[in-house]
Amino acid sequence: MRALPIKVLLWGYAAFSMAPLLVMVLSSLRPTSEIFDRPLGWPTGLGNYAKAWTQASFSTYVVNSAVVVVCSVLLGAAVSLLAAYPLGRAAFRGRGLFAAYFVSGMTLPAHLGVLPLFYLLQSMGLVDSPAGLVLVYAAGSVPFNVFVLTAFFRQLPHELDEAAALDGAGPLATFWHVMLPLVRPALATVVVFQFVPIWNDFFYPLILMRDESKLTLPVGLTHFFGQFQNDWGTLFAGLVMTTIPLVVLFVLATRHIVAGLTAGMNR
């Protein structure tokens, strides 16, 4: 019918959607003097990256971020997995209440509790410590994780628990040997979904971290922007380096999730 205008419009917007990111990557590969000369142009070299990695503390920020994100995601997934198991599969007093208690956190603006959180962590000696951030992030991931994993546990066949019980397996053995292998696809979903917001989070470290050597990427990026204000090439390189891990995750995770899903189907 009017297929052509629609196509033109859609591809046009797609180009508009991608263009700023493309400019970011291209500019990160050009010296600052050239960018100031002509805002748009072709790449010439990797010098900006070397500078951002060594002169700015990007290497430190990236390592700090990686440690905090991996620990947070693992801790949050582990405790949520344990909680979701009885919530999805057992009948016990207060189950509905517990489920509501956990899931209510999905709509609570939790960051508004940051001031008491700061003093709580201070009393534990965990301000300015990666461990403090990990506890905050892991706790914050509980509502979504419990919600997704409970739904997943609920739809696994009931015969599984009965068979395991007949074989004499206790709750922990059933959980470990029977359930865990089956929930792997949901676990991958949970891990991927938490990775992005935690990697990107700026608010908590802005308030909870002071020591330059312990900063994660987002707050590090604000320092970096002050420091290299007039060195645009290096700034663009910093922006690209902050973004790349997410692109890598996206590529890897798509494969992982598909693999997890098909593995589940073969059983």
Partner 1 sequence: MALGARRGSSYLFLIPAFLLYSAFVIYPLFTGLSYSFFSWKGTLRAGFAGWDNYAGLLAGPFLDQLLPALGHNALLFVGTMLVQNTLGLAFAVALSRVRRGKRALQTMFALPYLVNPLVIGYLWTLLLSPAFGPVNALLEPLGLAMPWLGDPDTALPTVILITTWQWVGFPMLLFSAALGGIPPEYAEAARTDGASSWQVFLRITLPLLKPAMATVTILSFIGSMGTFALVYALGGSNGAPAGATDVLGLLFYRTAFASGDVNAIGTSSALAVFMFTFIFGSTLLLERVLRRRA
Kindly identify the residues of this chain, within the stretch 189-208, that bind partner 1 according to CB under 8 A: 196, 199-200, 202-203, 206-207
Is 176 a binder of partner 1 (CB under 8 A)? no
Strands (E), the chain: none
Residues 206-225 that bind partner 1 (CB under 8 A): 206-207, 218, 221-222, 225
Q: Can you tell me which of 62, 117, 148, 198 binds partner 1, judged by CB under 8 A?
A: 117
Q: Does 12 help bind partner 1 (rule: CB under 8 A)?
A: no
Q: Which of 74, 97, 76, 95 is nearest to 85 (CA)?
A: 95
Of residues 133 through 162, those in contact with partner 1 by CB under 8 A are 135-136, 138-140, 142-143, 146, 158, 161-162
Among 67, 74, 169, 261, binds partner 1 (CB under 8 A): 169
Is residue 6 close enough to count as binding partner 1 by CB under 8 A?
Answer: yes
Select 169 or 261, whichever has its Cβ closest to partner 1. 169
Residue identified by tokens 């590090």 is: 220
Among 86, 182, 223, 256, binds partner 1 (CB under 8 A): 86
What DSSP designation does 140 have?
H
Out of 119, 176, 177, 262, the residue judged to bind partner 1 by CB under 8 A? 119
CB of 260 to partner 1, least distance (A): 20
